[in-house]
Amino acid sequence: MKKIILLMAIVIGLFSVSFAQNKSDSVKGMYFKFQGRVKAGMGQTCKALPSQFKDVTIGNWIDTITHNDVKNDFMKTKWGFYGGANLDFYFHPNFGFGVDIDYFSNKLNFTVPQNITDYVSLNPTTQLVQSNLKNQSLFFAGIGPSFKVFTNKHWDIDVNLRGGLSRLDMGSMRYTITGVRVDLNRVLDTLLNYDYSKPMNAFGLKAGLFVNYWFNSWIGVTLGADFIHTFKSAKKLDDNPDYVYQYKNPDYYLKANGTLDPYTYFDQNTPTYHPTKLNINHVSVSAGLVFRFVKPEPKPMPVIPKPVVVVKPEPKPKDILVLVKDSLTNIPMPGVVVNLKDKSGEVVDSKPTGTDGKVTFTGVKPGDYTVSGTLDNLKTNKASIAKDDFFTDKDIIYRELLLNNLNFVLQGTTQECSKNKVLADVEVELTNKSTGIVTKVKSGADGVFKFDLAQNTDYSIVGTREGYYSGIQDITTKGLNRSQTIYVQLKLCVEKLEVNKKIVLHNIYYDFDKCTIRSDASNELDRLVQIMKDNPTMEIELSSHTDQRGSDAYNNKLSQCRAESAVSYIISKGISKSRIKAKGYGKTQLLEDCSQYKDCPQTSQGDCPCHQNNRRTEVKITKM
């Protein structure tokens, strides 16, 4: 009875919360909602068996022993199938009534005592036989209140309380020991005789909790748990001869050494157990589908509003978010300084845009403003912000600015490429090959540097830092479409001057089948000459490499001749011959096998990038 009162108090409390949640919403007209649920899952009986018994007396008229406080620790039930359905009818958003049908099926589990198992295993003629096995089952049908304790667009929670009929079959099971020696007195071989299979009807009380997710207005999925308590007293079952519970506990028939005494065990009748306590509880967890139908609410009569004089309250400060984009590509532009000015033209605040091209001015007081931006000598358009913009429901005022720049932006990094390491404080020199104009910048702590590049123009770029060497690299904007591209990316390799370091000299050109250096190779060699003058103790090996076409002898001779031509040029610029050695490697040190590329010719006709990479001039520092 205490459990029933507690359960009723919980349900009433939940209903009170849900009712208070909706009491401010007036329900016009007749509210009606039908909801159905089908579910399946796993159920357990929470030991729906007699759990305690009267004292058990064993023995004969000469010698008897009484065992007190006998408990059922030898029979249990297993989890089994559970299925059910319920229909709910709601006449209030949070309250209604419903009908439930539930079914449980659970197997009985008897743990055979170890001393019985040992006895059977030591006596080959004996055998433990199981018979009359029948599962427990429960059929419940009930009616009672239903509650909605939480509801939103997709989720709701149901709590149901039902009272009704429980039709319970508590199952049956029998264990006997066959083949016992006939000299063991009367051979009373029943170990367990449990038969509570006659269906019994009793009052049941059920509580259920379900969480529902609705895909749309009429169907969804549900997860839930049910608890059913069946009211049946142990005394009524004990008084009914149709219910038998006999068990011959081998622990009561042991020898002094702890083994089974078969002469005593098989000489005495199997005792009848009289239950004094019976708890019939069923619990389940399940999943399934839910369906519903909600009666549409009647449309209210139109109400003609009275004229209301609205006085605008003074708006609150807001954030202003500005995005700066390139006018041709719409790419966000970082590093643009955006100025926020009031209506008198005074700068209220000034900030640079981040990597995403955005900048935010926080807590700006209501008023009239303009925003505009600058990047070096370039300017964006202006955008206006009116005081009325502060009266809107939006928390942020958003504006876009366009940066009008017809040039490309060279965005590069200086790196020590052999170590994959960013190198800062490198002076980067950009030369316009058409005009000869030279522009210099120094890379930052992150190695980043930037230049503006004109359209349809060739450039060369080189880096300078004490103790380091950078080759000359070519850049071109020819063939690039400014309406599609703004950034030209470049990784400028600047290598440290140290013994055994190899440096590839770019733009060292020779005419075909000749070893005479062309005049357009002088820039790279002049830079090497200056490095050697700045480092008077440095000695180098200048090597030349060919591609893999042609014979070994031809390539060795050609590469040696080309290396010597480059060395001769360097010597002519005032570098001592003792500091430089020429070496031709032919095709012995290829960077990659060009025969693996289908488009790479293997004869002297034509060319490909693979051959061009193999045909290189390298400097190896042999002494510093």
Q: Can you give the CATH number for the domain in which 479 is found?
A: 2.60.130.10
Give the contacts of 102 (CB within 8 A, at least 6 positions apart).
82, 83, 84, 138, 139, 140, 141, 206, 226, 228, 284
Is residue 182 located within the same domain as residue 280? yes
360 or 514, higher pLDDT:
360
Is residue 542 located within the same domain as residue 487? no
Q: Is 313 a domain residue?
A: no
15 or 524, higher pLDDT:
524
CATH number for the domain including 330?
Answer: 2.60.40.1120
pLDDT > 70? residue 4: no
pLDDT value of residue 27: 41
376 or 309, higher pLDDT:
376
How far is residue 99's CA from residue 363's CA, in Å, rounded to a whole number? 59
Is residue 136 located within the same domain as residue 250? yes
Q: How confident is the model at residue 594 (pLDDT cuts 50, 70, 90)?
A: very high
pLDDT value of residue 8: 53
pLDDT > 90? residue 25: no
CB atoms within 10 A of CB 214: 19
Number of domains in the chain: 4
Is residue 6 located within the same domain as residue 143? yes
Q: How confident is the model at residue 19 (pLDDT cuts 50, 70, 90)?
A: very low
Phi and psi dihedrals of 481, rounded to 5? -100, 115
Give the torsion sign (CA, 374, 380, 382, 383). negative
For residue range 91-149, what is the model confidence (pLDDT) as tens digits? 888 889 999 999 999 999 999 999 999 989 988 889 999 999 999 999 999 999 999 98
Q: How confident is the model at residue 14 (pLDDT cuts 50, 70, 90)?
A: very low
Q: How confident is the model at residue 308 (pLDDT cuts 50, 70, 90)?
A: confident
pLDDT value of residue 15: 46
Final residue before a domain boundary, out of 403, 427, 445: 403
pLDDT > 90? residue 217: no
What Rg do the C-alpha atoms of the chain give, in angstroms? Answer: 47
Dihedral over alpha carbons 22, 24, 29, 35 (to 10 degrees)? -10
Q: Is 54 a domain residue?
A: yes
pLDDT value of residue 222: 96
Q: What is the mean pLDDT of residues 181-197?
A: 82
How many whole angstroms from its chain centre is CA 435? Answer: 56
Percent of the chain with pLDDT over 90: 46
Q: Is 559 a domain residue?
A: yes
Q: How confident is the model at residue 18 (pLDDT cuts 50, 70, 90)?
A: very low
Q: Is 302 a domain residue?
A: no
Q: Is 57 a domain residue?
A: yes
How many whole angstroms from its chain centre is CA 55? Answer: 60
Exposure b/e, 456-481, CB count within 10 A at least 16 = b: ebebbbbbbbeebbbbbbebebeeee
How far is residue 354's CA from residue 351's CA, in Å, rounded to a whole number? 9
Give me the chain's average pLDDT, please.
87
192-206, 217-231, 461-475: which range is least confident on average? 461-475
Q: Is 312 a domain residue?
A: no
Is residue 504 located within the same domain as residue 473? no
Is residue 286 located within the same domain as residue 395? no
61-65, 218-222, 461-465, 602-606: which range is least confident on average? 61-65
Is residue 385 located within the same domain as residue 481? no
Q: How confident is the model at residue 298 (pLDDT cuts 50, 70, 90)?
A: low
pLDDT value of residue 291: 93
31 or 570, higher pLDDT:
570
Q: Are 188 and 247 in contact (CB under 8 A)?
A: no
Q: Are 622 and 582 in contact (CB under 8 A)?
A: no
pLDDT > 90? residue 582: yes
pLDDT > 80? residue 13: no
Residue 281 vs residues 41, 163, 170, 196: alpha-carbon distances, Å: 17, 14, 12, 16
The boundaries of the domain holding residue 182 are: 2-294
pLDDT value of residue 624: 84
Q: Are 412 and 334 in contact (CB under 8 A)?
A: no
Percent of the chain with pLDDT over 70: 91
pLDDT > 90? residue 31: no
CATH number for the domain including 257?
Answer: 2.40.160.20
Give the β-pairing of 539-545 and 580-586.
parallel
pLDDT > 80? residue 327: yes
Is residue 234 located within the same domain as residue 268? yes
Q: How confident is the model at residue 77 (pLDDT cuts 50, 70, 90)?
A: very high
Is residue 491 located within the same domain as residue 539? no
pLDDT > 80? residue 513: no
Q: What is the mean pLDDT of residues 244-263?
A: 89
Q: How confident is the model at residue 511 (pLDDT cuts 50, 70, 90)?
A: low
Final residue before a domain boundary, out of 448, 474, 496: 496
Q: What is the mean pLDDT of residues 473-494?
A: 80
Give the β-pairing of 421-422 and 408-416.
antiparallel
Instruction: Label residue 261 exposed, middle or buried (CB < 10 Å: 0-12, 13-18, 19+).
Output: middle
Stated length of the chain? 624
For residue range 424-438, what is the model confidence (pLDDT) as tens digits? 999 999 999 889 899
Give the contacts of 619 (CB within 8 A, at least 6 positions apart).
502, 503, 505, 528, 540, 541, 542, 543
Closest Cα partner for 276 from 552, 68, 557?
Answer: 68
Q: Is 140 a domain residue?
A: yes
DSSP 286-344: EEEEEEEEEPPPPPPPP--PPP----PPPPPPEEEEEEEEETTT--B-TTPEEEEEETT
18-22, 61-65, 488-492, 592-596: range with highest mean pLDDT: 592-596
Is residue 69 located within the same domain as residue 208? yes
pLDDT value of residue 142: 95
For residue range 153-173, what is the model confidence (pLDDT) as tens digits? 899 999 999 999 999 999 999
Q: What is the mean pLDDT of residues 301-326?
A: 81
CATH number for the domain including 529?
Answer: 3.30.1330.60
Q: Is 308 a domain residue?
A: no
Is residue 77 located within the same domain as residue 132? yes
Final residue before a domain boundary, out of 467, 496, 525: 496
Is residue 478 located within the same domain as residue 506? no
pLDDT value of residue 299: 66
Give the contacts of 264 (CB within 8 A, at least 6 positions apart).
253
